[in-house]
Structure 1
Amino acid sequence: MAADKKRLNVEFKSIPESLEEPFLKEFPEYVEGIVRGDPGGFVLTPHYGEHAEELYNFHVRPDDIWVLSFPKSGTTWTQELVWLIANDCDFEGAKRSLNDRSPFLEFPYLLPRKGTPTYGHLPSVEKQMQYREELESPRLIKTHLPLDLLPPQLTETCKVVYVARNPKDVIVSYYYHHKLIKFHYFDGDLESFARWFMNDQVWYAPFFGQVLAAWEKAKNDPNVLFLFYEDLKKDLEGQIRKVAQFLGKSLTDEQLGKLVHHLTFENLSKNSAVNKEDGKKHGVFNADGSFMRKGETGDWQRYFSPEMSRQIDEWTELNLRGSDITFVDKI
C-alpha cells in the first residue's frame, strides 16, 4: 500500500443467510448475496466490499460538497438544491443530468456481476470512477455510505450535507425502490421487507447507525449540516436559506423564489434531468413505478398494519435510546 494510502480496518464478510433460499426467494437478483462489515455492521454488495478501501482513499478536494443520506431520504431533492446554490442558481446548467453534475460515488460497485446482464449503456467501472476523480470543481458528490467508511479527512476538508427522513416513510419508499430497480428487485410484500430492514439485511443497513453518527458529527463540526426531509417539506424556503448560509452563498429574492418553484416535488418529478426516468429507457427500471414516487410525509399510514406500525415504533425507540434526535412521521 502506498505511503499516502490509509488502511480501512473493516473486514467485509458474506452474510450466510443471504445465500440461502428464504432470502434469495425474496431478493432473487442478489445471487452473490450481501456482505457485512466488521466492525460497524454496514451492509452492501460483495463488489463494494472488495473496493471499500479504494473509496475510503478517494481524493477529497477543499471545494468539494458531499451530500450524504440513507437511501430514499430526500437525496435527489437535496442534491439539486445544493448544486443550484453552489452554482449560483445556474438553471440552464441544471438542464444537464443530475447524475453527471453530481455523481453517485459507489454506484459502479452496486451493479451485479452475475445474474442480471450488465448494462451496456454505462461506461466501465474504471471509467466511471475516473469521471468522479476528474470532475471539474466544485464537485458535488452523492453517497449513501456512512461517515466512517468515507475518506477520514472528509469533514476536515470540505462541506458535507446530510439529509435524514423518518424511518417509516423510508421503509415504504425503499420497498418501492426495490420493486422498481431490476437488479435490486424484491419479490415479497412490504411487511416482509420491513422485517429484513429492521434486521439490518438490506443494502446500507443499519439505518440508525449511519443517521445517528451523522447527527452527532453535525453537533460539533461546522463543516457538517444536518437536514431533515420533513423540514424541507414544511419550510422549503427556510431550508434553502440555511443551506445557502452553510455554503457561504447569498441569494437574491428572485433567485430564492425561482429555487422554491424549481424544487417543488411536482416540478422535480417532471424534470427529466432529475427524475431518473431514463432508467426505464435503458432497461434498468421496471415499467411500473417511478424513482420519484410521492414525496409525502406520513405515506406509511396507508401501508402498515397497526401491529407492524407498533413493531417499527418499538424498534425505533430501542435504537434511539440515549439520543436526542427526534423524527417527525406525520405533517
Structure 2
Amino acid sequence: METANGLAIVGPVPFTDVCGARPDLVATTPNELDGEEDDSAAASELTTAAKRPGLRLYQGAWLAQVWVPGVVAIQQGSFVPRRGDVVLASQPKCGTTWLKALAFATMARVAYPPAHAGHPLLRLNPHDCVPFMEMLFADGALGNRKMDALPSPRLMSTHMPHALLPASIRDNPDCKIIYICREPKDMLISLWHFTRRFVPDRAFSDMFEDACQGASFAGPIWDHVLGYWNASKDSPERVLFLRYEEILRDPVENVKKLARFVQQPFSPAEEAAGVIKDIVRLCSFDRMKGLEVNKKAGSNYVFPNSSYFRRGEAGDWTNHMTPEMAQRLDAIMEEKLQGLSPMPQRSSVPRITQRSVETHSRTYSMETANGLAIVGPVPFTDVCGARPDPVATMPNKPDGEDDSAAAAAAALPSGISRVLRCYQGAWLASEWVPGIVAIQQGSFVPRRGDVVLASQPKCGTTWLKALAFATMARGAYPPAHDAGHPLLRLNPHDCVPFIDMLFADGGGATGSRKMDALPSPRIMNTHMHHALLPASISDNPDCKIIHICREPKDMLVSLWQFTRKFDANLAFSDVFEHACEGVSFSGPIWDHVLGYWNASKKSPDTVLFLKYEEILRLPLSPAEEAAGVAEDIVRLCSFDKLKGLEVNKQAGSRYLFPNNSYFRRGEPGDWANHMTPEMARRLDAIMENKLQGSGLFFA
C-alpha cells in the first residue's frame, strides 16, 4: 500500500466489470457440514417465520443458509490472500451498502475521480463494485478464480463474525479490515423491512424475540460486534471500527479516517479541491437511490437493487418498538458487554445501547469463460506518477553498439547526430539505448495478457495508444461517458508507458518496479525493432504485439516536422537522404517494418500488423457494436477531440516534447507537399527493393 518510489495506488476496479454479474442468492439448503452445530433444540425454539428466511447455526453463529458453503470454502483455503486486500465487515443492514460506496470511491478516487460523470457508482450498484465473499465462494473454485482476476488492492465484503474469518484474513498483517456497526434496535428495524421483501407476513415481534435469543442474520448481535471491537483494540493498524451513526453525523471526517487507515490519505491539494466532499456527495443516500441502476430489479438477483436503499434514520426504532422491547434489548446488550476486556467506553467507542446512539502474478484472466471478462488497463501515470522524461545526456557505450557506425553518426546533421545511435544494427535515439539494454538483460518481467504496441516514431503511435487503451479499457471506462474518461484528462502517452524510456533509469529497476505495480492486462509501447525484443516478448505466446506502420514518405514528412521542434534548422532533404541510407529513428525503415510483418505472418495469433491508413479493429461483442461502442471509441480518440483537450495543449513542465507536439493531422499523401517527384520515386524504389518477395507493399 506504499506510495514510495513514485508508485501510487489506483485502487480497486468494479467487480462486475472484471467478473460479470455478482453472485446470485440461491434457494437450496446445503448438506450438513463439518462444524455445523447439531442444535435441533435451539432450532426448534425459533419461530416458524424465522426458519423461512433460511437461518442455520454454524460454529456458534446464525448464518443465512446460502452463506454457509462459501464460509466453509473460505475457511478451507479457497480464498488466497494478497497484500493490500481490504475486507469490509458488518452485520446485515448496518450501513453495508453505504460503506461499500464510500470505501470504493475513496480507494479508487485516482482512477475514478468522484466528481466525474463517468464514475462506476453512477452506472453500478455498490454491490456490483465490491463482491460479497460468502456468496462468491459458495461455488468454490469459481470464486477463487474471480478473486484472482481482480487487480490489487482488492476490496471485498463479508458478514462473517470475526471468529469465523480464516487466519489468512484475521491474522494477516497485510490485510485490512473495516468494520461498521449500528445501534441494534435500528439495525433490527431495518433488517425487518428488508426481510419482509421475501417473507411479507413476518411479524416484527417474531424477529425481535429471536434476535434477543441470539438468532439473527450473522448473530448473535453482541458476539459479532464484540469480535471486531476486540480485534480493533488488539490490532488497531489492521482493524478499523466504525459506527453508522458517527458516519451520519460527520461523513467527511470518517471518510478521511477510512483513507488514512488504508494508507491512502487525502493530500492537502485534494482537500482544498473538495475531493472528500465530492465522495460524500457521490455516495449520499439521495444521489445513490435516485440513480436508474438502483431503481432496477435486476434480472439475476433475488433482491432488487432498490432494496438496498432505505434511509436509515437513527432512532427509527421508536416507531416500531414498545418501550418494554427497547428496554429489554438494551439490558441484554448491557449484560453481554459487561466485564469484557477491554470494556467499551462511552467516550471512545460504541456502547450499543439506547444511551449511545479493501497476472500472471495475481492478474486479470483474459478469458471470458466462467463469467470472467476483461476490464482492461488503467492509466500508467495514475499508478506510477509522471511518465519517463527524455534526457539529453549520451549514455555510456553499451555492449552491442556498432563501432562502424561512429563515422556515419558523425556525418549526420547536428540535430540528429546528437540523439541518434546505432545499436545492434538499428538506429535509435540515444536515450532509448539504456532501457533497451535493460529490457534485453531481463529487467522486464512478462505477465500473461501483456499487450505491446510497436511502431516507428510518427506512424500513428499516439493514436494507436488512445484507440487501444479506450478499446481494452471500455469495461472500466465506457467511452461514451466522456466526462470521466482518462483520455479526457491525460495524454495517451500518460496512459500507455513507453518501455524504452521507462527502463532507462536505474539499470531497469525503476521500470521493473513500476510495471509490476500495474494491474493486468498491461498495455505498453516500444520503438524497438522486432529483432531487438527480448524472447520474453517476441517468443511469448501469452503476450500480444500490435504493430502499426505508415506509408514511408508520409512518415518521413511527419518525423521531420516533429524533429524540427528541437532542431529548427533541420532541412527535410537531410532527413530524406539519411533515411534512404537507413539512418532514421528506429531505422532502417524497411528492417523495422519487415521484422514485424514477418512475425505477423509466422504468428498471426500473437502479432497484429496494422497500417496507419487502416482503421484499428479490436473485437467487440454484437451487443457493443449495436450500442455504438466502436463509434464511441473512434469519436473519443479522434484527432480533433484529442487535440482540443486542455491536457494536450499544455507543454508539461517535465517533458522535452510538449503534449501538443504529438498531435499533427497526418493526412495520407501529405508527402507531395514536401518531396519532389524524384525524391518520391527514389524512396518508392528503395522500399520496393527491400520488401521484395515479402508480400508487403505500400499503396
TM interval, short-chain normalised: 0.7 to 0.9
Give the match for residue 250 of structure 1.
265
Residue of structure 2 in register with 1:93 after alignment:
120
Identity of aligned residues (%): 24
- Which amino acid is the alignment partner of residue 326 of structure 1? R
Any conservation in 1 of the 2:102–2:280 contact (CA below 8 Å)?
no
Per-residue deviation at 1:166?
0.9
Q: Secondary structure at the match of 2:133?
A: coil
Alignment counterpart, residue 160 of structure 1, candidates 177, 184, 187: 177
Give 1:285 shift: 3.5
Question: Cα distance, 1:139 vs. partner?
Answer: 1.1
Task: Look up the match of 2:332.
Answer: 315
Match of 1:135 in 2: 150
Give the drift of 1:209: 0.6
For residue 205 of structure 1, give the secondary structure of its aligned residue in structure 2.
coil
Give the whole-Å Cα distance in 1 for the aligned partners of 2:248 and 2:53: 34
- Pick from 274, 278, 299 the counterpart of residue 316 of structure 2: 299
Q: Deviations over 1:24-57 (max 9, x none)?
A: 3454353xxx43234xx11124554455332122
- Retained in 1: the 8 A contact 2:87–2:158? yes
Cα distance in 2 between the residues matched to 1:141 and 1:203: 19
Indicate how the Cα distance of structure 1 residues 300 and 280 shifts in structure 2: closer, same or farther if over 3 A, else same.
farther
2:218 aligned with 1:236? no
1:145 aligns with 2:163: no
Question: For residue 62 of structure 2, what is the aligned residue in structure 1?
Answer: 43
State the TM-score, normalizing by the size of structure 1. 0.80
- What is the match of residue 218 of structure 2? 204
How far does residue 231 in structure 1 lie from its aligned partner after superposition? 0.6
Aligned to 1:103: 131
- What is the CA-CA distance between 1:272 and the residue it aligns to? 4.7
Partner of 2:285: 265
TM superposition shift of 1:245 = 1.2
1:99 CA drift (Å):
2.6
Following the alignment from structure 1 to structure 2, what is the Cα–Cα distance between the partners of residues 160 and 136? 18
- Superposed CA deviations along residues 240-268 of structure 1, whole A, max 9, x for unmatched, are 11111112223313211211212222222
Q: For residue 99 of structure 1, what is the amino acid of its counterpart?
A: H
Corresponding residue of 2:94: 73
Deviation at 1:279, TM superposition (A): 3.9
Note if 1:327 corresponds to 2:346: no
Q: Could you give the per-residue CA deviations for residues 267-287 of structure 1, whole angstroms, max 9, x where no partner exists?
A: 2222355x4x44465562489
1:50-106 CA-partner distances (Å, limit 9, x unpaired): 553321221111111110011111111111111111112514233334233210000
| Conservation of the 8 A alpha-carbon contact between 2:90 and 2:158 | yes
Distance 2:302 2:69 in 1: 24
Aligned partners of 1:28 and 1:186 also within 8 Å: no
Equivalent position SS for 2:47? helix
Larger RCO, structure (CA 8 Å, separation 6 or more): 1
Distance 1:25 1:189, change over 3 A: closer
What amino acid is aligned across from residue 245 of structure 1 in structure 2? R
Verify the 8 A CA contact 2:176 2:238 in the aligned structure 1. yes
Change (3 A) 1:129 1:189: farther
Distance 2:307 2:68 in 1: 29
Check the 8 A contact 1:44/1:204 in 2, yes or no. yes
| Structure 1 residues 280 and 200: alpha-carbon distance in aligned structure 2, compared to 1, 3 A threshold | farther
Single out whichever of 189-198 and 249-258 deviates more from structure 2.
249-258
Tell me if the contact between 2:184 and 2:353 (Cα under 8 Å) persists in the aligned partners. no
What is aligned with 1:13? 37
For the structure 1 residues 158 and 315, does the alpha-carbon distance in structure 2 shift closer, same or farther, using more than 3 Å as the test?
same
Alpha-carbon separation, structure 1, partners of 2:338 and 2:168: 29
Aligned residues of 2:101 and 2:126 also touching (Cα < 8 A): yes
Matching residue's letter, 1:84: A
How many residues of Structure 1 are paired with residues of Structure 2 in the alignment? 299
Structure-1 separation of matches of 2:303 and 2:66: 21
Q: Does 1:191 align with 2:237?
A: no
Contact persistence 1:17–1:23 (CA under 8 A): no
Contact 1:265 1:295 in 2 (8 A): no
Q: Considering only CA atoms, is the larger Rg found in Structure 1 or Structure 2? A: 2
Q: 1:143/1:278 Cα in 2 relative to 1: closer, same or farther (>3 Å)?
A: farther
- Label 1:225 to 1:134 Cα distance change in 2 as closer, same or farther (>3 A): same
- Quick one: distance in 2 between partners of 1:22 and 1:13? 15
User: What is the Cα-based RMSD across aligned positions, in Å?
Assistant: 2.9
- 1:49-68 aligned at under 5 Å gives the runs 49-56=68-75, 57=77, 58-68=79-89
More displaced stretch, 237-246 vs 144-153: 144-153
Residues of 2 paired with 1:286 and 1:247: CA distance?
Answer: 31
Q: CA separation of 1:25/1:300 partners in 2, compared to 1, >3 Å: closer, same or farther?
A: closer
1:60, 1:136 → 2: CA distance? 12
Preserved contact between residue 106 and residue 143 of structure 1 (Cα < 8 Å): yes
Closer, same or farther: CA 315–258 of 1 in aligned 2, 3 Å: same
1:218 aligns with 2:242: no
Q: Secondary structure at the match of 1:103?
A: coil
- In the alignment, the residues of structure 2 paired with residue 150 and residue 264 of structure 1 have an alpha-carbon distance, to the nearest angstrom, of 30
Deviates more, 1:50-59 or 1:216-225: 50-59
Contact between 1:12 and 1:49, CA under 8 Å: does it hold in 2?
no
- SS of aligned partner of 1:36: strand
Q: Distance in 1 between matches of 2:58 and 2:154?
A: 28
In structure 2, the gaps of 5 or more residues are: 1-32, 345-349, 358-699
